[in-house]
Structure 1
Amino acid sequence: MTTPDFPETASGAEGPGREIPPASLARLPIYLRALNAMLADSVERVSSEELAEAAGVKSAMLRKDLSYLGSFGTRGVGYDVQFVSHKISALLGLTQEWRVAIVGAGNLGRALARYSGFTTRGFEVVALFDADQGIVGTQVGWLTVSHVDDLETELKRTGTNMAVLSVPAVVAQELCDRLVAAGVTSILSFAPVVLQVPAHVQVRKVDMGTELQILAYHAQRAQEAEPGSRARSAQ
């Protein structure tokens, strides 16, 4: 890949001590998805306005978010799509090899194991676990469900460095502790409970019930803002 001929500036250059605000960090995967779609369509350059529209954000917000990666856009020329895609991928750690174990092979765990989007984004699901003897030994895609008793052995064998917990709250902390003890320091949890982990372990919690409640709040606010809504609610 040829690096574009616009230099990075010291004020915008990324570095180990430069923290990206959580809101900006959360939008980077969205920009990456839009950029990769453009690459698939052989688009070489894109303006901030075009990229912002593809990502569903304001162009000023996009420019501020990308400034945390460095200064590499040129007014009137725009961004080099491949270069910015690579920069975001590198910052998100997607140029490394991520080997994922899914703990919990119920409906959600099995659906996650079959999700082809992981592979295209740099994540390889290498192991799937459950405690149900009726599920252990069955095939999910190319994976065979292993018993959770073999967790540590299989994590070591597969070189797992990231895990997904899709288990009931009552067993989530115990399994999380086992993952951490086995050396896994990046965990995505769908369990409806707050997990306690050491400071060096990163846990991201996905609570679909909470997200639906927030969505319901915004939907209700939108309904209340409609003309005549108060009159209807008073009837």
Structure 2
Amino acid sequence: MVGQRGRRNGSAVGRKLATPDADNAPTAEMPAVTEGDEQQRARAIPEAAVARLAVYLRVLSAMAEQGGTTVASEELAAAAGVNSAKLRKDLSYLGSYGTRGVGYEVTVLVGHIERTLGLTRQHKVAVAGIGNLGHALANYGGFPGRGFPVEALFDVDPDLVGVPVGGIPVSHVDDIPQVCRERGISIGVIATPPPAAQSVCDRLVAGGVQCILNFAPVVLQVPDHVEARKVDLAVELQILSFYVARRNGMVVQ
């Protein structure tokens, strides 16, 4: 799924590193990278590259779990579904370049990407709207291990309020600001019907939530300091329909 932005709403110290053009290019001594350097680099990364970094991290994490220690750019690019030049360009934003004749160190690269994506600390998540999608999100066991523990659930249904889902009692949407502040929620997920999405969004913002992932098919209005991303499953299916039609010669030119 491809998210869409809403309306405004370890350092590599002293390692022999290669240029970003190829794994077996001449090596050069890389200066120490400070936290300020990493923050400045992170601000310069294009949004499309950020999305690919998340894909690289998933691939690299799987490699690490299987005992992999190094990976060539061609291998990582193929596993991530991009070309080698684009991958090396993306990783150059991190100041991370492959070692000549070896490629990239998996654990080092994982560390670079995790720091850039802000994954060195947990981000507590709240889900509003405990229908079928909300239930699935609340019960998904993969979030905590990736640093996104679901810590709060909200709904308006009196038959749901107070009932544990995924081990967490459902709170009423009216309590969103207080609960989010008390539990330090930083990411809110909206899985409500469209008419309720904006009011729920406003409550999340009032509770100090900094980022919102919106599954409702509406465009949210958020303050400048809040990041909102929209995931519209119907739009994604329509895009896939276009590709099916094009491959079957059904698209009128």
Q: TM-score when scaled to structure 2?
A: 0.83
Which deviates the most, 95-104 or 13-22?
A: 13-22
Map Cα deviations across residues 21-80 of structure 1 (whole Å, 9 max, x no partner).
121111111100010011101111110011112212211111111111114312311001
- Correspondence for 2:124 among 96, 99, 102: 99
Unaligned 5+ segments in structure 2 are: 1-9, 17-28
Q: Cα 1:53–1:9, aligned 2, differ >3 Å: closer, same or farther?
A: farther
Conserved 8 A contact 1:188-1:206: yes
Give the Cα separation in 2 of the matches to 1:144 and 1:166.
17
Residue 75, structure 1, aligned to residue 100, structure 2: yes
CA RMSD, aligned part only? 2.1
Pair 1:16 & 2:40 matched:
yes
**1:191 and 2:240 correspond:** no
Answer yes or no: is the 8 Å Cα contact 1:113–1:125 preserved in 2.
yes
Q: How far, CA to CA, are the matches of 1:9 and 1:48 in structure 2? A: 22
SS of aligned partner of 1:145: strand
Mapped pair 1:216 → 2:227: no
Q: Which has the higher contact order (CA 8 A, sep 6+)?
A: 2
SS of residue paired to 1:96: coil
How far residue 15 of structure 1 moved from its aligned partner, in angstroms, is: 4.0
3-state SS of paired residue (1:82): helix
Tell me what 2:112 maps to.
87
Give the gaps of 5 or more residues in structure 1.
Answer: none
How far apart, CA to CA, are the structure 2 residues paired with 1:75 and 1:48?
11
Give, in angstroms, the shift of residue 179 of structure 1: 1.1
Q: Distance in 2 between matches of 1:28 and 1:60?
A: 14
For 1:114, the equivalent position in structure 2 comes to 139
Of residues 163, 186, 204, the one that matches 1:179 is: 204
Matched residues in 1 for 2:153 and 2:147: separation?
A: 18
Equivalent residues in 2 for 1:14-163, closer than 5 Å: 14-16=38-40, 18-163=43-188
The separation in 2 between residues aligned to 1:61 and 1:168, in whole angstroms, is: 39
Are the counterparts in 2 of residues 48 and 59 from structure 1 also a CA contact under 8 Å? yes
- Please tell me whether residue 166 in structure 1 is matched to residue 210 in structure 2: no
Q: Post-superposition, which runs of at least 4 consecutive aligned residues in structure 1 deviate over 6 A?
A: none
Q: With the length of structure 1 as denominator, give the TM-score of the two structures.
A: 0.89
Equivalent-residue separation in structure 1 for 2:206 and 2:167 (angstroms): 27
- Which amino acid is the alignment partner of residue 72 of structure 2? S
Shift of 1:3: 5.2
Counterpart-to-counterpart distance in 2, 1:214 and 1:207: 11
Are the counterparts in 2 of residues 8 and 72 from structure 1 also a CA contact under 8 Å?
A: no
